[in-house]
Structure 1
Amino acid sequence: MTPEDPQFEALLAYLKETRGFDFTGYKRASLMRRVGRRMAQVEIHGYGDYLDYLQVHPDEFTALFNTILINVTGFFRDPEAWAYLREHVVPQLLAGKAPDAPIRVWSAGCASGEEAYTIAILLAEQIGVEQFRQRVKIYATDVDEEALAEARLASYTDRQIAGLPEELRQRYFESAGGRHVFRKDMRRSVIFGRNDLMQDAPISRVDLLTCRNALMYFNAEAQSRILSRLYFALADGGVLFLGKAEMLLSHGETFTAVDLKRRVFRKVPASTPRASASASASASAGVLLPDGAELLGLDRLRDEAFATCPVAQVVVTADGLVALTNRRAETLLGVSTRDVGRPFRDLELSYRPAELRGYIDQAQVERRTVRVPDVEYSRQGSEAVVLRVDVNPLTGPDASLLGVALVFQDRTETRQLRTELDMATRQAETAHEELQSTNEELETTNEELQSSVEELETTNEELQSTNEELETTNEELQSTNDELQTINNVLRDRTAELDTTKSFLQVLLTSLPAGVAVVDPGLQVQAWNRSAEDLWGLREEEALGEHFLNLDMGLPTDGLRPLLRSVLSGDLSREQLTVEAVNRRGRKIKVQVAFAPLLDHASRTTGAIVVMTADDE
């Protein structure tokens, strides 16, 4: 026996009080080893320090529970035991039932769901998929919410389904996103829910109960309590399937071994009937008062109290039949005493205003009230109302499931009041924000006004200074205007002089008896006098701007090009030659052509002067 550590026991008590996980029944050696492994990962060495760490870091609970609850599972894990179940146990179970009788299975400690889907595959192979959908309910439970969430997805990797034969894989799984998803039509028959074997009420009337490798983590006292619950859960003759590391050495009066090697056991029916509620039922019509008198008519009183209850209620049996309904339910939901005895799933109420069948299954599996959030509901000819539905499981004195009570709370006024309150709150918040914003704007405006006054004063001073500067500038402009007037007069005189000079040069060129052409360095004609026009028949406007050597005249240009280039290159000597040409009248003439450089005031060559003198033959 492992001696108890007070700090460790305090840690277990804290887990039970804060999170509802009761690990006090687990074997201390394995439990302390797993908790110690998690403590080492967060580098904490004392149980007291770890409890303080949990209080400060709520996310640590998930990591701790995942370490304690080792969810080791797989499809057809321990194949020999599953083969025995398939070949011997399930055929006997089916043989003892009517062809259309329901089959109820409980997979306790289902982890990530592989075991529950293994049972589904095994039963579908025996009775066919269609019969499976109609007859089978598999309740798969665990205390680990993360594992249950994964199980509900029914999606597995290649490694997780590696143990399945290929034909089963193709028949019962569909590929999606690189994973394998269990068939949706069969998935609806597998119901997952949280159930603590130590605390929560068991599922009842179970034909096959698998609880593999879960008892091994509990001590003897806890195992005894759990086995009592499993015994109650099984129907007479029901089969219990345990893990290969688990035995039932001290429970021979409740279970008998079908195959000890494979850990298959059958429930032993009770030799004496359990105490029933018949005595109390027989006295339900009356109650003895302290003075010995009997208070009669209680059944009628209860019925009337239920019928006139202002809250709509519908009671459904464990088999899914409508058992009771009150007047408010008839007014609000359209359900009346005429529906008593009908399957609840056939009523419109089962799926409207909300899909209630799933919530009913959840309440039955988890043995706790399931609340459906506010939903809107309206019947033809009536206004819409907001309903909150509470699904309450009903159990007997022996913890057996009797059914569920559906309570429909009218939350319309509450919703309206909440909406109005929210609206008023938002309006108040908006008004407060607007007031704050207005106050801030006023403060900002005041600061801006003060700043504007200062800026105006500064601007006034600047304007005065600018006015003085403008007066000074005006005087300077008047002085400048006088200067410009003088310059204008000078320019006018110079322009007149230039015009005179230009006229003189024009007259000079015109008066020359020889033809004169002035070209720039690019041999573009810049001047063309009257004698050149008479000699070659080419007007001044036709020659100006044209290339001298490309002019359409009778002067051969082949011999002229070298001399022109020589003059333009800076040779200050004057060149001349005599060539034969054709004048404007078509007569052959000899022309003396002389070349001289055109120099600027710095004696730089800026062009050439070509003088053409004709000698008539």
Structure 2
Amino acid sequence: RIGRFFTKEVNGFRVNTAIREMVVFAQHSVIKDAPFTKLELLFCRNLLIYMETGLQKKLMNLFHYSLNIGGVMILGSAETENSENKQFTPIDAKLKIYKSAERSVKYAELDFPDSFSQPKRQPSIETKPATVPDNIQTLADQVLLQRFAPASVLINTEGDILYITGRTGKYLEPAAGKTNWNIYAMSREGLNHELPGAIRKAKLNYDAVKLHNVKIGNNGGAQIVDLTFQQIEKPDAIKGTIMIVFNDVADIPRPAKRKPKTGRQNSTVREQELELELQRANEELQITREEAQTTQEELKSTNEEMQSSNEELQSTNEELSTSKEEMQSLNEELQTVNNELQSKITDFQVANNDLRNLLNSTDIATLFLDKDLNIRRFTDQLTSLFKLRQTDIGRPFTDLVTDLQYPEIGADAHEVLKTLVFKEKDFTTHDQRWFKVRIMPYRTSDDHIDGLVITFIDISLAKKLEAELNDKIAILRKHQLDKP
């Protein structure tokens, strides 16, 4: 069916022309116009929510009458099917889709649209007195506007017609071609020359602008009309719009021809018309001159503002140029500082490498602590005494596991940090190695104490030689005592 009734496009499908030509679009009032019949599908979305319950039930009866048996009715998401006698059965209650049930209502008893707004006429024996409707003022205003008020149109500032009152066919006619509801395009011969100037003059203030004896061409004839242009001030909803009122005028009476007393004839009607047209042309020319002068003053003021803006832009440009130079100078200074910092970083790396190699070349286990006795740095040889890793930097050194039999090392470190007097002691390890432990204050270049330096010197060989020497001395002394 898609290939039969639809045409594939880039973003989807389009209904075929043959199907579209079968669709008729028309304005239809469900409460005033006669209903359609024999429908298979009826959409009524977001309409019933604006009606009272009684009118909704009447429309449900009307929809049931319009649909064939089994026809589908689709309502809006906020609407419900409240018909009488279950005239519709739900197909999908959530989506508000209903199917028309079998006819169980006598349609002769239904109220059709022509009776929605007025009660049924029922024969009565007694004659009731005429009642005055509550909205008699509105009805009287409508009759007055439709039968006695002059024709008028309401336009916006661009000339587009917003509302029409009365019959305006003698003054306006639709233009050929595409639909255009602009009064300049719809005005008849004679009126089109008067509209521009009068509308411009009406825009200036809220005073009425009146044109008298305007001759408008009308299907080969002419109609004399008085025009009134009034810019609307209140209410605010239509403020700024212009109301144009047409008042028909009887033909200008032609003066009877009389023999001239001085040999000159009186002015003819044509001359009077020309004089009126000349007067209106002069008025329009004066309005045009005033508008041109106003426009010239506005252009002069705009030119001055543009010159002022140009000067401000030039000043801003100069400031930006100065800022650019300052930024360039600052950038050069930053590059110089960056180069200096890069040189210092290189020197620091070289010094750090030299220090590391020096410490490793001495083959002395060294531990650097801060004022809180937290590990700051250590040499590789220290890992043979303490279970140390790089991740231990920042931890208290007393929390580390060590093979050194020196339980007082923490107390001695606190004492050296307090007294600033170094300590040096010999201690053995669990595997019978001997180390000389020296605890010294860490002094900065400006002679500030910033922690401790602890060195562990392996003296196992010296201790061994010392023990052997003591043994030999003891043997020699014994031999000397044994001699007679």
Normalised by the length of structure 2, the TM-score is 0.36
Normalised by the length of structure 1, the TM-score is 0.29
